[in-house]
Amino acid sequence: MGAKNVIVKGQHHDNTQTEVRDFVLLASGKSFWLAEPYIDTDRVNGTGDSLSACITAEIAKGVDIETAIRTAKKFVHVAIANEIQVGHKFGPINHWAYQD
C-alpha cells in the first residue's frame, strides 16, 4: 500500500524565482529534478490536477512512468506560459496550448 512513485511539486507564486523545480522519486529508486523557467502569471489554477491527469493519460497510452511525468511537466509549463484571460484572478491554465 502507498505511493510507489512520488512527485514533490515546486511552488509557483514568487516573482523573484527564475525557475520552478519539481522533485521526482520513482519506485525503481531513480530520482531526478524537473525544471522549467518561472512564468510571472496569476493563471495557475489547476496545475496539480492537470499534471496528474496528463500523467494518467500518458500511462493509459502505454508510456513508461518517467516519460509520462516529463511529458506532463512540459504540458503544464506550456499551458501556464500561454495564458488565456477567462474567469477571475487566479484563472485556469491553457490546456489548448500544448501541441505534440
Q: How distant is the alpha carbon of residue 54 from its chain centre?
A: 9
pLDDT beyond 80 at 20 = yes
* Residue at 93 is within a domain: no
**Residue 46 has which C-alpha cell?**
489547476
pTM for the model stands at 0.88
- Tell me the pLDDT tens digit for each residue of 51-63: 999 999 999 999 9
SS3 string of 18-42? CEEEEEEECCCCCEEEEEEECCCCC
- Tell me the pLDDT tens digit for each residue of 30-81: 999 999 999 888 888 888 999 999 999 999 999 999 999 999 999 999 999 9
Query: What mean pLDDT is predicted for residues 78-88?
Result: 86
* Residue at 51 is within a domain: yes
Instruction: Give the domain range for residue 39.
Output: 6-81
Give the count of domains, the chain: 1
